[in-house]
């Protein structure tokens, strides 16, 4: 593609002059442009955004309240983020307890049965859910309501959150449902791949667990739930984030009315540890007989959310596997026809997270696909990214960001992230500018730092009989069955 660099004069888009402009987005600061075959040339201005600000306030018990007013529809969404109640804080010998507790909150309170809660929500046309994940610090309650019934919905949510009764019969039903799910998930190749990769990337770190076991589920008692709830559901470090048809002036008293009596625990903010540094590269095969496809996942440790490399890794990831114009997608799908798609992504929280690339390919091309995938990870640090591809990737990130601003909840999530990770006040206002200022040299540096071939771990889930020979050409392979049991090591020096 022919490149044609030139400068254009920045300009300002038409902005809504409404009393509520959800997100003022402007374009400015021209850099370079490109000419497209047969199309008018495009310029490379940076999208300059001016986000509406969330109002913030603290309750006496430590609860932090954030409100993003949006008057377009008479609906309010609320998130209650309970730092310290997430799966990260499962007792070491009781994997899943945080998740069980979150799931069972809605199944009964001191004054309401499970069915009464469901019926009340239906009458209010409101929704309330609580969820967490084994790698997360927080459990999160999400609720939405017509503004007219917000007070009743918050009252119900507070009842569920503060006064759950964990009825024995609901626990028994829950176990029955979950046990079936724990068996069923082992039939899904994607689950098996993610489970193994988490173990090899995080080791004994809490993020190394993907799922409870039938055993930890089975021995969970009502007392376990009550104890976990008592210790971990505290207001001190919790955040209530509200978006919608309400002001701080109206939200604060409603929250105080229903959550104000929630007693502070006086505890310090819950802490996290980084995982142990990752060990040398290795291959893992989960044998799933008669699979017609192989799930391939290649992963390693990367960064935490406050790393200086966050923006740079975002750009690198966009180029490698961030979507249908990424290298993995174009190579493995468009060029080779191995797969429907190939993607990469990374997680970044308070502790050091992971970066991984994944694809599902036809059994017979497993070896070729893995070779191409690894080749792309070498190329991103060995060769400078061509200028046009580089600018396109950055612009794509900024365009997706701009698009996300349409949703008040996405906007509010940004503010929550800013708060949780103590990021600067103008963090999101300056996000497009920071992304556009990433350089090609920086991308090569972070690729060299995090995609070191000696630290990449490779998981393949598929028909062992057909693919183990392909995999051993890359090194020794630990072979597991679909229950996660190591069967043997084949190939390489072992």
Residues of this chain, 276-305, that bind a copy of itself according to CB under 8 A: 292-293
**Residue range at the interface with a copy of itself (CB under 8 A); choices 7-15, 201-209, 376-384, 457-465:** 7-15
**Residue range at the interface with a copy of itself (CB under 8 A); choices 279-287, 295-303, 389-397, 465-473:** 389-397
Contact 428, 308 (CB under 8 A): no
Find the shortest distance in angstroms from Cβ 184 to a copy of itself: 5
Q: Please give the C-alpha separations between residue 477 and each of 19, 55, 491, in angstroms, as whole numbers.
A: 62, 54, 6
* Contacts to a copy of itself from residues 83-102, by CB under 8 A: none
- Under the criterion CB under 8 A, does residue 124 sit at the interface with a copy of itself? yes
**Residue range at the interface with a copy of itself (CB under 8 A); choices 195-203, 222-230, 264-272, 335-343:** 335-343
- Under the criterion CB under 8 A, does residue 333 sit at the interface with a copy of itself? yes
Q: What is 313-338 written as a DSSP string?
A: HHHHHHHHHSSTTSHHIIIIIIIT--
- Under the criterion CB under 8 A, does residue 221 sit at the interface with a copy of itself? no
**Size (the chain), residues:** 494
Considering only 4, 53, 91, 181, the residue that binds a copy of itself (CB under 8 A) is 181
DSSP state of 45: P
Sequence-separated (6 or more) residues with CB below 8 Å from residue 349:
135, 136, 137, 272, 304, 305
Considering only 389, 429, 445, 482, the residue that binds a copy of itself (CB under 8 A) is 389
User: What are the residues facing 374 on neighbouring strands?
Assistant: none
Name the residue among 144, 177, 166 with its Cα closest to residue 233: 166
Residue 164: HSE in the Cβ half-sphere, 13 Å Cα cutoff: 26
Please say which residue, 83 or 143, places its beta carbon nearer to a copy of itself.
Answer: 143
Please say which residue, 401 or 480, places its beta carbon nearer to a copy of itself.
Answer: 401
**Residue range at the interface with a copy of itself (CB under 8 A); choices 8-16, 130-138, 215-223, 466-474:** 8-16
Considering only 7, 340, 378, 448, the residue that binds a copy of itself (CB under 8 A) is 340
Q: Is residue 61 classed as helix, strand or coil in its secondary structure?
A: coil
- Under the criterion CB under 8 A, does residue 72 sit at the interface with a copy of itself? yes
Name the CA dihedral angle for 104, 107, 110, 111, rounded to a multiple of 10 degrees: 160
Find the shortest distance in angstroms from Cβ 280 to a copy of itself: 33
Sequence-separated (6 or more) residues with CB below 8 Å from residue 26:
12, 13, 15, 47, 48, 49, 50
Say how many residues touch a copy of itself, by CB under 8 A.
92
Query: Under the phi-then-psi rule, with left for phi > 0, alpha for psi from -120 to 50, and beta for the rest, what region is 84?
Result: left
- Under the criterion CB under 8 A, does residue 19 sit at the interface with a copy of itself? yes
Name the residue among 219, 62, 232 with its Cα closest to residue 164: 232
Please say which residue, 6 or 20, places its beta carbon nearer to a copy of itself.
Answer: 20
- Under the criterion CB under 8 A, does residue 490 sit at the interface with a copy of itself? no
**Residue range at the interface with a copy of itself (CB under 8 A); choices 78-86, 91-99, 180-188, 479-487:** 180-188
- What is the side-by-side order of every strand in the sheet holding 457-462? 339-346, 354-362, 293-301, 457-462, 282-287, 477-480, 486-490
* Contacts to a copy of itself from residues 343-372, by CB under 8 A: 361-362
- Under the criterion CB under 8 A, does residue 253 sit at the interface with a copy of itself? no
Considering only 406, 426, 465, 488, the residue that binds a copy of itself (CB under 8 A) is 406
- Under the criterion CB under 8 A, does residue 442 sit at the interface with a copy of itself? no
- Under the criterion CB under 8 A, does residue 325 sit at the interface with a copy of itself? yes
- Under the criterion CB under 8 A, does residue 177 sit at the interface with a copy of itself? yes
Considering only 50, 168, 184, 488, the residue that binds a copy of itself (CB under 8 A) is 184
Q: How many CB atoms lie within 10 A of CB 308?
A: 8
- Under the criterion CB under 8 A, does residue 476 sit at the interface with a copy of itself? no
* Contacts to a copy of itself from residues 24-63, by CB under 8 A: 25, 27, 34, 36-40, 42-43, 45, 47
Q: Please give the C-alpha separations between residue 14 and each of 28, 129, 392, 430, in angstroms, as whole numbers.
A: 13, 39, 24, 20
- Under the criterion CB under 8 A, does residue 146 sit at the interface with a copy of itself? yes
């Amino acid at each position: 593609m022919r490149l044609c660099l030139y400068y254009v004069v920045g300009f300002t888009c038409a902005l809504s002059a409404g009393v509520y402009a959800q997100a003022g987005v402007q374009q400015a600061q021209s850099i370079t442009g490109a000419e497209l075959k047969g199309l008018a040339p495009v310029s490379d201005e940076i999208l300059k955004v001016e986000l509406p600000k969330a109002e913030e306030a603290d309750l006496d018990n430590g609860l932090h309240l954030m409100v993003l007013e949006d008057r377009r529809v008479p609906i309010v969404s609320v998130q209650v983020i309970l730092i310290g109640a997430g799966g990260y804080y499962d007792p070491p010998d009781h994997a899943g307890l945080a998740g069980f507790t979150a799931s069972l909150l809605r199944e009964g309170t001191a004054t309401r049965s499970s069915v009464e809660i469901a019926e009340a929500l239906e009458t209010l046309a409101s929704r309330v859910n609580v969820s967490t994940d084994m790698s997360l610090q927080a459990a999160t309650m999400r609720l939405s309501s017509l503004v007219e019934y917000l007070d009743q919905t918050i009252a119900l949510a507070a009842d569920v959150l503060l006064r759950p009764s964990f009825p024995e019969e609901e626990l028994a039903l829950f176990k029955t449902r979950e046990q079936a799910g724990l068996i069923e998930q082992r039939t899904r190749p994607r689950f098996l791949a993610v489970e193994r990769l988490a173990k090899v990337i995080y080791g004994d770190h809490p993020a190394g667990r993907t799922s409870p076991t039938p055993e930890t589920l089975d021995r969970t008692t009502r007392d376990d739930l009550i104890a976990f709830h008592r210790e971990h559901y505290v207001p001190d470090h919790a955040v209530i984030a509200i978006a919608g048809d309400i002001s701080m002036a109206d939200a604060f008293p409603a929250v105080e009315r229903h959550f104000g009596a929630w007693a502070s625990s006086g505890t310090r903010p819950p802490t996290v540890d980084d995982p142990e540094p990752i060990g040398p590269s290795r291959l893992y095969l989960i044998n799933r007989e008669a699979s017609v496809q192989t799930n391939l996942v290649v992963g390693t440790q990367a960064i935490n959310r406050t790393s200086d490399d966050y923006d740079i890794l975002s750009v690198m990831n966009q180029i490698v596997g961030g979507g249908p114009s990424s290298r993995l997608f174009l190579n493995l799908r468009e060029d080779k026809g191995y797969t429907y798609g190939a993607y990469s992504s990374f997680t970044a929280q308070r502790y050091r997270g992971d970066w991984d690339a994944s694809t599902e390919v036809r059994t017979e091309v497993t070896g070729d696909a893995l070779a191409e995938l690894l080749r792309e990870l070498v190329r991103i640090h060995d060769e400078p990214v061509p200028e046009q591809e580089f600018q396109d990737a950055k612009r794509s990130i900024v365009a997706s960001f701009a698009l996300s601003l349409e949703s008040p909840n996405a906007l509010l999530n940004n503010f929550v992230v800013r708060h949780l990770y103590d990021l600067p006040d103008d963090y999101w206002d300056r996000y497009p500018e920071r992304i556009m200022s990433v350089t090609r040299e920086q991308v090569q540096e972070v690729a060299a730092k995090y995609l070191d071939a000696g630290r990449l771990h490779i998981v393949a889930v598929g028909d062992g009989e057909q693919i183990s020979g392909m995999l051993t050409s890359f090194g020794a392979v630990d072979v597991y069955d679909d229950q996660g049991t190591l069967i043997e090591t084949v190939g390489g020096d072992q």
